[in-house]
A and B are shown apart, each in its own frame.
Chain A
Amino acid sequence: MNLPSKLVEAAVEQFASLPGIGKRTALRLVLHLLKQSKENVNAFSTTFIEMRNNIKYCKSCYNISDNDICEICSDHKRDHSIICVVEDVRDVMAIENTMQYRGVYHVLGGIISPMNGIGPNELNIESLITKAASGKVNEMIFALSATMEGDTTNFYIFKRIKDYNIKTSVIARGVAVGDDLEYTDEITLGRSILNRVPYENSFVR
């Protein structure tokens, strides 16, 4: 693509670096911004800078948050003895949308996959084990993706917490095999949280 301005070209490059955006779309967005007032574009870009610089990850559950402790973790009406273990923040949003869950979360930040360079140390697993050891947790619900890597991660955590006498379950996968939580519709997801099955029954061993 031949562009008349290095400034425009740099802006196009930035948009095109976003997932799902090609060069052509990037140019359309840049030309759109050029038509806006300077104030509008300043506000637009400041929003991202503010967001990136000031966002926090909840010190307890690793959900994204504006404060040190997220709204879910600081809500005293929620049951802090039940922890739902998820892969990333999109899963928290998907489950929250069902309005069927009143416990808290723990965001791992991924699942174990040596091929992608992700081992237990790259994930928020140790802090989960610490919570399990504290004696304040009665139940853990595993809501990781129904893949071999998801199962492996479930199994690893299960092995680490098995001496703490915690009830464990996985979200019933009968309805959503192969789908990520994010894509499962809310009714299905809500139902599977209510019908979670004890962990031992769900794993091959």
Chain B
Amino acid sequence: MYLKSLSLYNFKNFEEANIALAPGIVCFTGLNGEGKTNLLDAIHYLSFCKSFLVSSDVLNIRFNESYFAVQGTFIAHDKEDVIYCAVKYGERKVFKKNQKEYSKLADHIGNYPLVIISPLDSNLITDGSDERRRFLDSIISQYNREYLEKLIQYNKVLAQRNALLKQFAENGNFNYSVLEIWDVQLGPLGDYIFNERKDFLEKFIPVFYRYFDIISNKKEEVKIHYISQLNQELKMEDLLSSAINKDRSAQYTSVGIHKDDLDFLIKNFALKKHASQGQQKSFLIALKLAQFEFLKQKKGEAPLLLLDDIFDKLDDTRIARLIDLVSKENFGQVFITDTQKERIEHILHTAHSEALIYSISGGKILKE
């Protein structure tokens, strides 16, 4: 699968742009603020129906215009599919495949898989555990619908249970038989989610190690541990009943898979505090490449890979190893942005990689 062409109308700083693309590596070079990341965001729209940078669609409409449209032609299974997305002020987002509008966006998401590596990934290291759980959940949900449904269910039951604990505290009463009706539902849901996460990570973590070794040339020892209050012996329902007094005074559910986390370690110390920026960046790239590899296996084809500004803070040998890796055949179509045209040209030359290079300046796209 690859994107054959991309057209933009009033999208962010682009008034109108049409570019031809090709399988393999595609580079967008240009200074910061010229719009190269916006091109990646347009591609992100075609895959996920939304931006990876801003939460509101209308913020992507060019200044003083009333709408934007993004259109891309994918080649998938020897067939051409035209995907069109338009956003207009005060109107519903329009999303079409081959002129036909989708009734649910969920029917589109996942059909043209995409993995993006961007500076925003550092949230996975610096932010709270919910970022890391979201990372886990988003990968598992992409190939396991049942997981997604049970996760949604779990969160609904959890919200009700928390509301009930709050009411008990406010009214100064407690009734176990009323609490129990939520616990018996959380139990099997929590156990299922724990087991799926555990199974997934058992397969995922070795793939991550392999990629980290390639990028860092096996110079550093990193680890990922799955942290959960649950384990093979300790089931969700047992946890809930053992924490009942704590939950009553805390007025929320203090135990369960909503407390799960991933421990990121370098030489057995916390990555967040003990790794250099380059090491952290290598770690994040390896995580995302492992996600890519995993989705590729599950979907049977390579997702699009978007590398946004990843060369910053990464030394030249790591960059070279990364480009060497992604220019190999099994990575499919790879989009790369960089501020320095000479640097990317040199790296590609050294890796003997052919690439399509566009330079972006003032909302215009020029082919090199």
Residues of chain A whose beta carbon lies under 8 Å from any beta carbon of chain B: 112-115, 117, 119-120, 148-149, 151-152, 155-156, 159, 204-205
Contact = CB atoms under 8 A, between A and B. Distances in A.
B182 interface: yes
A73 to B, nearest CB: 29
Interface in B162-189: 163-164, 166-167, 177-178, 181-182, 184-185, 188
Contacts of A149: 160
12 contacts: A113-B160, A114-B166, A114-B167, A115-B160, A148-B160, A148-B185, A151-B185, A152-B181, A155-B181, A156-B181, A205-B184, A205-B188
For the complex of A and B, list the 7 residue pairs with the smallest distance between their C-beta atoms, beginning with the closest: A114-B163, A114-B164, A115-B163, A156-B181, A114-B160, A148-B156, A152-B181
Given A114-B164, A119-B164, A159 B188 contact: no
Contacts of B277: none
Nearest to A117: B167
Contact of B177 (A113, A117, A159, A205): A159
Contacts of B157: 148
A5 to B, nearest CB: 33
Nearest to B167: A114
Interface string B148-159: 000001001101
Contacts of B160: 113-115, 148-149, 152
A148 B153 CA distance: 8
Contacts of B164: 114, 119
> Which of A114, A117, A205: most chain B CB closer than 10 A?
A114
Nearest to A115: B163
A189 to B, nearest CB: 25
Contacts of B182: 152
Given A114-B163, A117-B167, A152 B185 contact: yes
B169 to A, nearest CB: 12
Contacts of A159: 177, 181
Interface residues of B, number: 17
A47 to B, nearest CB: 39
A94 B157 CA distance: 29
Given A114-B167, A119-B164, A159-B177, A204 B185 contact: yes
Nearest to A147: B156
Contacts of A204: 185, 188
A205 B181 CA distance: 12
A112 B185 contact: no
A119 B178 contact: yes
Nearest to B177: A159
Contacts of B153: 148
Nearest to B163: A114
Contacts of B181: 112, 152, 155-156, 159
Nearest to A113: B160
Contacts of A205: 184, 188
Interface string B208-224: 00000000000000000
Contacts of A151: 185
A115 B54 CA distance: 30
A120 B178 contact: yes
> Which of B161, B167, B181, B182: most chain A CB closer than 10 A?
B181
A147 B108 CA distance: 26
A202 to B, nearest CB: 14
A200 B157 CA distance: 20
A49 B111 CA distance: 58
Contacts of A119: 164, 167, 178
A205 B160 CA distance: 19
Interface in B107-165: 153, 156-157, 159-161, 163-164
A155 B156 CA distance: 16
A45 B167 CA distance: 40
> Which of A115, A151, A156: most chain B CB closer than 10 A?
A115
A159 B153 CA distance: 21
A151 B181 CA distance: 10
Nearest to B157: A148
A117 B164 CA distance: 8
A164 B160 CA distance: 29
B121 to A, nearest CB: 34
Contact of A115 (B159, B177, B178, B185): B159
Contact of A155 (B161, B163, B184): B184
Contacts of B185: 148, 151-152, 155, 204
Contacts of B177: 159
A156 B179 CA distance: 10
B233 to A, nearest CB: 21
Nearest to A112: B181
A149 to B, nearest CB: 7
Given A119-B167, A148-B156, A205-B184, 7 more contacts: A112-B181, A151-B185, A155-B184, A155-B185, A156-B178, A159-B177, A204-B188
